[in-house]
Amino acid sequence: MTFLFDIGKVLLDFDFEGTLESLLPAGSSVSALDALLEDKDAFERGDIAHEDYLARALGIFGPSVTREEFERAWRDVFTPNLPMWDAVERLAADGHRLLLFSNTNAIHCPWMLEEYDIFRHFEAGTYSFEAGCLKPEPEIYQRAIADHGLEPASTRYIDDLSANVETGRALGLRTHHYDLEDHAAFECWLTAEMALTR
């Protein structure tokens, strides 16, 4: 069985604002940080080059923050979602094909794939900044299906955003709308999906 996993709020939780606010100079308004985060989608689509996004960030945080400090803070937004990691370990042990499907950027990827051991179980992935499009745009799903030779009707797709799940479902994927606060619902869905193949 093939599983297509989102990363953020599924395999890893994240908190951009809480982590990055610590870099702002004393007395700075968080509105500048908001502007940077508003550009995050364009960065993740690949519309803004890595170096250009870094230049914007360093312009906001000022000379007291180095490139290395910003990139470290940008990466430190993540925490593991351990219940899902346990599920991935089980699926891998049972020989299922695991793939990643994420809106992400050139600072996070491939760093996170090397940093977090859970990703060793994933054969490959489709990432927005490389594809030039973002979920829930159908184009990135079509690319993932083509790149990995997926049969949508037999591919299980897990994502935390309803719009992403809806596009996946419209394209024929078997979907689960994941809630980080209700992992038990995922386990129930997974049990039901596994029963269909017996």
Phi, psi (deg, nearest 5) at residue 99: -130, 155
Provide the residue ranges of all domains of the chain, joining segments of one domain with +.
Answer: 2-13+78-196, 14-75
> Helix, strand or coil for residue 155?
strand
The whole-number pLDDT of residue 22 equals: 81
> How far apart are the C-alpha atoms of 78 and 148, rounded to whole Å?
27
Query: What is the four-CA torsion angle of 83, 87, 93, 95, rounded to 10 degrees?
Result: -160
Class of domain 2-13+78-196: alpha beta
Q: What is the pLDDT of residues 59-110, one digit of tens each?
A: 888 888 899 999 999 999 999 999 999 999 999 999 999 999 999 999 999 9
The whole-number pLDDT of residue 177 equals: 98
Whole-structure pTM value: 0.94
